[in-house]
Amino acid sequence: MFVFWFFHRPVVIITDAQLVKEVLITKNLPKDKFGYSHLALLFGERMLGQGLLSEVSEEEWHWKRATLDPGFYRPSIVGMMESFNMTCDSFLQRLETLADGKAEVSMAEELVRINLDVIAKVAFDLDLNSTNNPDTPIPINIRIALEGLIQSFRKPFMRFQPSTFGYQAKCREAVRFVRGVAKEVIEKRLKAKMKGEDQHNDLLSHILLLPERDSCTTMDDMVDHFMSFVVGGEETVSNHLTFLLAAITSHPRVEERIVAEIDEVLGSRCAMRYEDLARLKYLEQASKEALRLHPPEPAITRVANESMTLGDYHIPARTSIMVNAYVLHHHSNYWDNPEEFDPERFSASNQENVEHYAYFPFSLGRHTCIGIHFAHVETKLLIARLLQTFKFNLLPGQDLKQMEHMTLSPKNGVRCTLSLR
């Protein structure tokens, strides 16, 4: 444990597994307004508002989470498999046009597009098709808004700098555009619901239940949840897909074993069934190891809601507390050779050696990411079908290091050539 000062505010950094348990499980400390409030507005424009990601009231968060949770349960995910596969089909068809073994492809860019297409189609029945039409306005404006969010996080005083006012206006316009699209999608589904038409069992159908739970829920409130899932999933899952693909393709023995597993599970089939996912055990191990090395949420902020003791230290009330997943995931106290990519860490025979509170890529406790199961399904399906279809060859000399904004992302795009298997 140590402390750093963010201007006048002390922030306690937690790097011990047992203190992680105390902060996130035992005491279940609330979200820190100081850490999450910047997600609600982007340069004064409502961005995520009071969605799950940015909601800091425990009472409000709890009932919203309880309403939306069933959208990620097994029955809902099973019903989404057709949409998962159809979106993946379109993606693979595009990549086949580039699979000549010569064309340079940035897989980071490609995976950003397919991930956004998956989220839009599977969660909201919205056809973006950005993999084939990268210049369509919805993904462009989502990227502008997300980049603005990252910049506002990195440069908290940016909004006061006149030289950035034009950029801020561009970001606000992008947010208004995306929220406008979200409103149209919600209104269309509401009209269909009022007409008694069959409803998709997707995330949007559960968002529409919010006004039934609380009559004070407004259209803006429902749009907040649309934005939260799109923004929260767009950056984190696409980064994980890219890191995982890079790790697999740069470790030939791992790749060979995963491809053999995929062939055994899928055979000549392309479409993946829900029950196939559990059989891709070694791919799951590799995915967990990539999440260890590159956690989507490298740090989690909480606040001491009263004076308390953590370890041997007194923590005054209202002190910000940051649980550092990245440090714990790379700490030699908990992992042998922590910088090495080794899927065997998560094999069935090694599970007892994994310190539970030193591994939390999607947070822990009540605030564990609501989309964790969705992300695991998407990861297995996309990576399995990519490796079933293509051989990826990383271009030599590129730096595969990561860079950190709000999340961890690959530095240089993971450039490679593709050939059909």
Mean pLDDT, range 229-246, rounded to an integer: 91
Q: Which class is domain 36-252+266-279?
A: mainly alpha
Mean pLDDT, range 43-60, rounded to an integer: 94
- So what's the pLDDT on residue 411? 62
* Percentage of residues in the chain having pLDDT higher than 70: 97
Quick check: 406 pLDDT over 70? Answer: no
- So what's the pLDDT on residue 409? 62
Quick check: 408 pLDDT over 60? Answer: no
Phi and psi (nearest 5°) for 342? -140, 95
Which residue in the block uniquely carries the two structure tokens 């699979």?
99
- So what's the pLDDT on residue 10? 85
Quick check: 163 pLDDT over 90? Answer: yes
Q: In this predicted model, which residue has the larger pLDDT, 11 or 408?
A: 11
Please enumerate, by residue number, every residue annotated as part of a binding site: 369
Quick check: 95 pLDDT over 70? Answer: yes
Which residue in the block uniquely carries the two structure tokens 């969660």?
123
* DSSP assignment letter at 49: T
Domain extents in the chain: 36-252+266-279
Work out the angle at residue 175's Cα, subtended by the Cα atoms of residues 169 and 180, and round it to the nearest 5 degrees: 125
Mean pLDDT, range 123-132, rounded to an integer: 90
- So what's the pLDDT on residue 404? 54
Give the model's confidence band at 197: pLDDT under 50 very low, under 70 low, under 90 confident, else very high.
confident
Mean pLDDT, range 235-257, rounded to an integer: 94
Please enumerate, by residue number, every residue annotated as part of a binding site for heme: 369
CB contact at 8 A, 418 and 97: no
- So what's the pLDDT on residue 33? 87
- So what's the pLDDT on residue 37? 79
CB contact at 8 A, 311 and 3: no
Q: How far is CA 247 from the centre of its chain?
A: 18
- So what's the pLDDT on residue 348? 94
- So what's the pLDDT on residue 199? 75
